[in-house]
Structure 1
Amino acid sequence: MHRFFVGYVIESDQVIIDNINDVNHIKRALRVQINEKLEICDAASQEYVVTVEAMDDQIVCKVLEKREVSRESHVLVDLYQGLAKGSKMETIVQKSVELGVHNIYPLSTKRVIVKLDAKGQKKKIERWQKIADEAAKQSKRSHIPEVKPMLAIKDLAGLVSDYDLVLIAYELESSRSLKNHLTDDKKKVAIVIGPEGGFEAEEVDALVDAGGHSVSLGPRILRTETAGITMLSIIQYAIGDISK
């Protein structure tokens, strides 16, 4: 069944899909018919099976079943990703959503190659959000991760205290491993990934001084589009829901 999201909590047996993009996709691309079933997730991350009753400017559905399933990890992981060039950011967004990321923060650092003005940032974030939406549907997520506005790395230090654990992937780190930091009491985690050129030493030092942890991802240097996906996979296996 095709999956869609509504931005409200379902409290009756009727569901209205009124997002114009979803309406057009259901009617024109998927060619859904009356009485066909869909999966719906609401604003409370509850999942329902519905049947289509009417289609016009809105899709009107009737609830058939509420499913008691848990598709979201009990470990909330936010990704702070150094802005990567070309299609790399699209890959990072798509795959991290599949792996259960909570939200994604594009990160501006000193070595970022891509330079975007306000208009360019808005356009890119809209594009990345669309990719996140589609990846959430495809991977049967109950929550659509949000691609947040661009954040400067100098402002990230002030957010470290919001997390149980902040992990900075740093290619010059040799003595501190990711494994040693992954314990079951960590429920809110941030991972910080540099752009193609990596971090400046003072950027890492500022985050460590604020309470973050610089970690090694092993003896091989990973590309920026690989590092975050690798860390997400390890975290979900070690303390998340992949191994459950």
Structure 2
Amino acid sequence: MAASSPRFFCPTPLVAGQSLELPPGAARHAQVLRLQPGAPLTLFDGHGGEWSAAVERMGRSAVAVRVVAHSPIERESARSVHLALGMPANERMDWLVEKATELGATGFQPLLTERSVLRLSGERADRKRAHWQGIAAAAAEQCGRNRVPTVAPVQELQAWCATLAHSPARRLVLSLEPDATALASRLGEGAPVLLLSGPEGGLAPAELRRAREHGFEPVSLGPRVLRADTAPLAALALLTLTA
């Protein structure tokens, strides 16, 4: 498959010889690209590797494709990093999910914290979660990843911490506390990491204490105060690009 072939995420298992219609978002993208029958595509279903494919039919709203062959290629980082985020406000969470997907984040846990500006619950939280999941899928299409990070349901920080009893990942929390150690000195050998980062204004002191009680080690990115949408990306780059 040529490197320039458009890539589309299809969230259903793919098999060689299968004919199917692209999901609505991918179909719209294919139509914008003015693809014609026979045009080559790359598809991935999130279960590993990618598939060569070709356009069979272009309709007004539907695009039919035929799956050809599987390639086991992977582009995942050596270290798995799951981000737990005190959600930044406005469009910053959108941007954070997009860029963190490109940098190799394996999943996202949106959190409500004491200082959160963005307050989500119920149906609105479900809509936002679906929106962020779509952003992660689009970013995976663009950057060449064949696995799409999962966006978990929005939770309050305290309730989420209570679910972590059996998580094997190393737990780190970004902090400006005097005893926080430099993240660069804690990179280790590539063990999975669960990284907690606060919203605008950071985590409240009581929340940092709670995180420590649940095994989170405070780490620092240096003396400067980074924004809520910058700090986790800087930490993620250190963790995924140096493993």
User: Which TM-score applies when normalising by structure 1?
Assistant: 0.89
What is the 5 A alignment of 1:54-133? 54-56=57-59, 57-63=62-68, 65-133=69-137
- More deviation, 94-103/67-76: 67-76
What is the 5 A alignment of 1:177-196? 177-184=182-189, 186=191, 188-196=192-200
Once the two structures are superposed, what CA deviation does each residue of 1:198-240 show, in whole Å capped at 9, x if it has no partner?
Answer: 111121111212211111111111111101100110001222x
Measured at CA, do residues 16 and 136 of structure 1 come closer, stay the same or move farther in structure 2, by a change above 3 Å?
A: same
Measured at CA, do residues 17 and 71 of structure 1 come closer, stay the same or move farther in structure 2, by a change above 3 Å?
A: farther
Alpha-carbon separation, structure 2, partners of 1:227 and 1:76: 18
The equivalent residue for 1:53 is 56
- More deviation, 212-221/51-60: 51-60
Runs of 4 or more, structure 1, over 6 Å off, are none
The equivalent residue for 1:170 is 175
Aligned with residue 31 of structure 1, among 31, 34, 43 = 34
Alpha-carbon separation, structure 1, partners of 2:180 and 2:89: 30
- More deviation, 12-21/84-93: 12-21
Contact 2:115 2:199 (C-alpha < 8 Å) held by counterparts: yes
Once the two structures are superposed, what CA deviation does each residue of 1:20-55 show, in whole Å capped at 9, x if it has no partner?
Answer: 2322332x3222110100011124222122122234
Alpha-carbon separation, structure 2, partners of 1:46 and 1:185: 22
- Please state whether the residue corresponding to 1:224 is helix, strand or coil: coil
> Percent identity between the aligned chains?
29
Aligned with residue 223 of structure 1, among 202, 227, 231 = 227
Measured at CA, do residues 54 and 129 of structure 1 come closer, stay the same or move farther in structure 2, by a change above 3 Å?
A: same
Whichever residue aligns with residue 31 of structure 1, its letter is: R
Give unpaired runs (5+ residues) of structure 1. 240-244
Contact 2:120 2:154 (C-alpha < 8 Å) held by counterparts: no
Alpha-carbon separation, structure 1, partners of 2:24 and 2:12: 16
The aligned length equals 236
- Please state whether the residue corresponding to 2:181 is helix, strand or coil: coil
Contact 1:175 1:216 (C-alpha < 8 Å) held by counterparts: yes
Whichever residue aligns with residue 176 of structure 2, its letter is: E
Alpha-carbon separation, structure 2, partners of 1:155 and 1:231: 24
Measured at CA, do residues 174 and 17 of structure 1 come closer, stay the same or move farther in structure 2, by a change above 3 Å?
A: farther
Alpha-carbon separation, structure 1, partners of 2:29 and 2:73: 26
Give unpaired runs (5+ residues) of structure 2. none
